């Protein structure tokens, strides 16, 4: 039983009553999280990728970007700086870069966990369920694996022949392993429709996720989708507000893609149901090269400033940067 039915969801997605939707989403966020906003420091440690996703600037065939890989010591140094500056969650993210062996990722996780009182999230793409299980044993707490869309034909097209079933199998295996699991979609991919977004919302809700991220599609000039229209920002805000109504206790980030439309995009997201922000703490020398879409990491800041700026953003809304790890509040139904 959903808290909203498909017709109501469609009504709100079409802009039927934005004021009511955003007010309700803000109330539900407040009831579940109070004034606390969780901050996740994201270390984008490699922009090398073996995939060809048509939407993403890191895709392997893109020869226009300057590729980098941080060494283990560099990753540990950045994680340390983030932790010392108050971050309670370190997100390790990269392209699908298999040069980081299972053992190496395991060592990085173990070392971060032994040195700092933080949660570690892995966003490393399609590594095997066995590898993720091993990293869970090493101490990793969470994963972030977006489905990008829940339409299998669109998925197959945008990810060049890959199968949504396989991605979903991985997401479910990670839940079984015991991870807090995050997933989500991109709003406004080629071929999407409002009916598809309704289906996405219900599908993501059924997955009982600990975190759901949904940001607008932003075309990258060096991808096959360079001429595709940018995702609709209002539909994106409505989507996350509806996620909040359907998943009251799930962590929902105000994605950095929102800031590509409006410098206050993440603030608006936090006022409309989101309760998480994920500042990049990638070293200044590499930040701009993590160019998933234009505008990403365009401001050159060091780790300290990145976290301070995020905290200031939270305070500017009269919210409070949480001093906890912001672990998932939601309990999954036993099936």
Which residues in this chain contact ligand SAM in the complex, by CB under 6 A? Answer: 55-56, 58, 93, 95-96, 123, 125, 145-146, 148, 186, 215, 217-218, 220, 257, 292-293
Between 56 and 281, CB nearer to ligand SAM: 56
Between 57 and 283, CB nearer to ligand SF4: 57
Q: Cβ(256)–Cβ(299) under 8 Å?
A: no
Please indicate if the annotation marks 99 as binding a ligand: no
Angle at the Cα of 271 (from 265 to 275), degrees rounded to 5?
A: 95
Q: Cβ(199)–Cβ(160) under 8 Å?
A: no
Please indicate if the annotation marks 49 as binding a ligand: yes
User: In whole angstroms, what is the distance from residue 288 CA to residue 293 CA?
Assistant: 10
Is 41 strand, coil or helix?
strand
Please indicate if the annotation marks 123 as binding a ligand: yes
Work out what residue 59 binds among ligand SAM, ligand SF4, none; the CB cut-off runs from 5 to 8 Å by kind.
Answer: ligand SF4
Work out what residue 218 binds among ligand SAM, ligand SF4, none; the CB cut-off runs from 5 to 8 Å by kind.
Answer: ligand SAM
Give, in order, the Cα–Cα distances in Å from 217 to each of 46, 71, 106, 190: 22, 31, 32, 9
Please indicate if the annotation marks 160 as binding a ligand: no
Sheet of 276-277, strand order: 276-277, 36-39, 320-321
Between 250 and 322, CB nearer to ligand SAM: 250
User: In whole angstroms, what is the distance from residue 40 CA to residue 253 CA?
Assistant: 9
Is 280 strand, coil or helix?
strand
Please indicate if the annotation marks 274 as binding a ligand: no
Between 81 and 124, CB nearer to ligand SF4: 124
Least distance (Å) between residue 114 CB and ligand SF4 = 29
H or E element: which one contains 26? helix 18-33
Work out what residue 146 binds among ligand SAM, ligand SF4, none; the CB cut-off runs from 5 to 8 Å by kind.
Answer: ligand SAM
H or E element: which one contains 287? helix 284-287
Q: Which residues bind ligand SF4 (CB under 6 A)?
A: 49, 51, 53, 56, 58-59, 95-96, 125
Least distance (Å) between residue 51 CB and ligand SF4 = 4
Work out what residue 214 binds among ligand SAM, ligand SF4, none; the CB cut-off runs from 5 to 8 Å by kind.
Answer: none
Residue positions forming the annotated binding site for [4Fe-4S] cluster: 49, 53, 56
């Amino acid at each position: 039983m959903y808290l909203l039915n498909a017709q109501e969801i469609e009504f709100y997605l079409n802009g039927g009553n934005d004021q009511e939707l955003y007010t309700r989403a803000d109330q539900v966020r407040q009831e579940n999280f109070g004034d606390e906003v969780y901050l996740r420091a994201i270390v984008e440690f490699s922009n090398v990728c073996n995939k060809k996703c048509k939407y993403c600037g890191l895709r392997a065939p893109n020869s226009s970007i300057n590729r980098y890989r941080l060494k283990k010591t560099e990753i540990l140094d950045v994680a340390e700086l983030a932790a010392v500056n108050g971050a309670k969650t370190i997100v390790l993210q990269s392209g699908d870069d298999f040069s980081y062996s299972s053992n190496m990722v395991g060592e990085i996780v173990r070392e971060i966990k032994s040195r700092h009182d933080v949660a570690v999230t892995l966003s490393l793409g399609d590594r095997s369920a066995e590898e993720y299980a091993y990293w869970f044993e090493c101490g990793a707490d969470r994963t972030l694996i977006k489905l990008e869309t829940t339409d299998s034909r669109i998925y197959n097209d945008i990810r060049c022949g890959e199968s949504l079933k396989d991605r979903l199998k991985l997401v479910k295996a990670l839940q079984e392993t015991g991870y807090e699991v995050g997933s989500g979609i991109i709003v406004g991919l080629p071929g999407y429709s409002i009916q598809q977004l309704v289906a996405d919302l219900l599908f993501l809700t059924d997955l009982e996720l600990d975190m759901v991220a949904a940001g607008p599609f932003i075309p990258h000039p060096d991808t096959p989708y360079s001429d595709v229209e940018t995702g609709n920002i209002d539909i994106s805000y409505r989507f996350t507000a509806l996620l909040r109504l359907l998943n009251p206790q799930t962590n929902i980030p105000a994605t950095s893609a929102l800031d590509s439309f409006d410098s206050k995009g993440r603030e608006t997201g936090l006022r409309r149901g989101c309760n998480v922000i994920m500042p990049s703490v990638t070293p200044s020398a590499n930040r701009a090269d993590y160019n998933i879409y234009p505008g990403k990491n365009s401001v050159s800041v060091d780790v300290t400033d990145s976290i301070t700026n995020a905290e200031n953003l939270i305070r500017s809304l009269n919210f409070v940067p949480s001093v906890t790890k912001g672990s998932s509040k939601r309990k999954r139904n036993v099936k």
